[in-house]
Amino acid sequence: MNLPVVASLLARGRQLERLSDGITLLALAYSLAPLLGIALHPLARLLCAALLVIGLAHKYWAIRVALDAELFARLGASTDLPADTEALDRALFELRLKPNCHDPRDWPSRSQAALALLRRQALCLAVQVLLIATLPFTG
């Protein structure tokens, strides 16, 4: 099974999350500059708001990716994958994290879906990096 490999890839999401958190906190600090009497460029206000919103979106995807990383790692060590898969689907359904109790997808399909979440997380970080690169630092 490729589940441990997918779990390892998904675990890289933590590094992306740290970078995004740093950018988000920098944008928050920069947007608070007027409290210190420092005028902000009008574009800077808009970019800071965008960075904060994208940072929140990134945090959402990071939480989803981290959950999948843990689940894939646990199931990668399973000795009875079909039974554990059924138990996982049932638990997610009971917690209202899944619309149906039975998921017909196989593990390669689930792996691709989990990696798509990681790509969304990476895309949010890329947009943040591009936006912070355009942030005007003079008022």
Confidence band, pLDDT 50/70/90 cuts, at residue 138: low
> Is this prediction's pTM over 0.85?
yes
Region for 41 from its dihedrals, namely left if φ exceeds 0, alpha if ψ lies in -120 to 50, beta otherwise: beta
**Residue 88 above 80 pLDDT?**
yes
Q: Are 116 and 10 in contact (CB under 8 A)?
A: no
How would you label 52-73 residue by residue, b for 16+ Cβ within 10 Å and e otherwise?
Answer: bebbebbbebbebbbebbebbb
Domain boundaries, the chain: 3-133
Q: What is the pLDDT of residue 84?
A: 95
Q: How far apart are CA 65 and CA 59, in angstroms?
A: 10
Average pLDDT over residues 79-93: 94
